[in-house]
Structure formats: C-alpha cells, structure tokens
Amino acid sequence: MIDAGSLKKGLKIEIDGDPYIITQFEFVKPGKGQALYKCKLKNMVTGTQFDKTYRSGDKLEPARLEEVEMEYLYQDGENYCFMNTTTYDQEFLSGDQVGEAQALIKENTVCSVLLFNGRPIGLTLPIFIDLRIVKADPWVKGDTASGDTKPATLETGYELQVPPFVEEGEKIRIDTRTGQYVERVKE
C-alpha cells in the first residue's frame, strides 16, 4: 500500500480495478486540520481524467504494471501484433493504445509494452529509430534561400524536416521523443 504522503507526479496507482497515473499534484496544508493532497488522475486504459483529493493517512493501492520487451510483427486492420521476445506469445494492441508511435513504428522494431494484470495497455518506442527516406527534394549546392531544412517522407509515411544535404534513399536516425532528425546512418 502507498501512503498519501508518498504521492507525487508520475506515480501509478490502482482505483476500482483500473490503473491511473497522477498527472498533476498539489500539497495543501490548511491552518488547522489534516494535510490535503490534490491530484489530477488519468486512466491509463481509457484516457479519462478527474480530480481527487486525499487526506494524510489515506492508503492507496499501487498499480500492478509490468514492462515487457516485444517485437512489432504486423498490422491487422486496426490492430497491431506484437510478439514477446522471451516467451514468443503474441499480443494485439489497438491503434489508440499504440498512439503516436504509429507514425514511426515498422516491422521488427523492439518496443517496451506496458502490461496491466497481463493485459497490454500502452507502448514505448526505443529512443532512436532508423528509417529510410522515400521522398525528398534534391538539394542544389549553394541554395541557401530556401532555409536550412527541407521536407522528407519516411518509409512509414511520417513527414519531417531534414538538413538539405540528406538525400532520398538514405537511412536517418529519428528521436522518437521529439519526432525530429538526429543524424544520417551509415550502412
């Protein structure tokens, strides 16, 4: 059990059988009476949010979450199939559960899948992913009027800005946290 005095932003707790994450936290100590812990909670499965106030001495249940390394295999309609790299069990995540990672994920990418009571609820991509550019405008040497970046489309369909010297067909490294170009990758 977690004591209300240990609450903080980012802590994951279980309420009525669902996992919640504390997105905002405020400690309030009135002139007299018990200390209050005002939290904004977000359901990690449905995404719904609500505010809840706890008093000092309240006990909370920690969420039983587990991160498992899984490899992305294929997309089947709206669902994404992942394989556990140790047990070879396959799990399906919906497009909502995969979220923004849909734009950067490709087959055979090893990701970290968040499980709640053995059920997948979320996905974390590796920090850097290497992808090939399938479309980019050619660069003319000395062309500085157009700025220091140009648009490029990756093999997953994701579009981003890259330096002008990066050419179509090259492999580049993307920072999945920001979605931006990091460097060219030598093959």
Helix (H, G, I), strand (E, B) or coil at 100: helix
Distance CA(116)–CA(89), nearest Å, equals 16
The percentage of the chain sitting over the pLDDT mark of 90, rounded to a whole number, equals 45
Distance CA(17)–CA(20), nearest Å, equals 10
Select from 124, 140, 172 the last residue of a domain: 124
Does the pTM exceed 0.75?
A: no
**Sorting pLDDT into bands at 50, 70 and 90, what band is 59?**
very high
Same domain membership, residue 117 and residue 137: no
Domain count, the chain: 3
Same domain membership, residue 160 and residue 115: no
- Listed in sequence order, the residues at least 6 apart from 91 whose beta carbon sits closer than 8 Å to its beta carbon are 70, 81, 82, 83, 84, 113, 120
Asked whether 124 and 107 are in contact (CB, 8 A), the reply is no
Q: What is the CATH number of the domain that holds 117?
A: 2.40.50.140
Same domain membership, residue 73 and residue 27: no
Same domain membership, residue 98 and residue 113: yes
Q: Which domain holds residue 7?
A: 2-62
Q: pLDDT per residue over 18-54, tens digit each?
A: 899 999 999 988 888 888 999 999 998 888 899 999 9
Q: pLDDT per residue over 86-99, tens digit each?
A: 999 998 998 888 88
Asked whether 112 and 134 are in contact (CB, 8 A), the reply is no
Mean pLDDT score, 155-166: 90
Give the range among 23-37, 83-97, 109-123, 144-158 with minimum mean pLDDT. Answer: 144-158
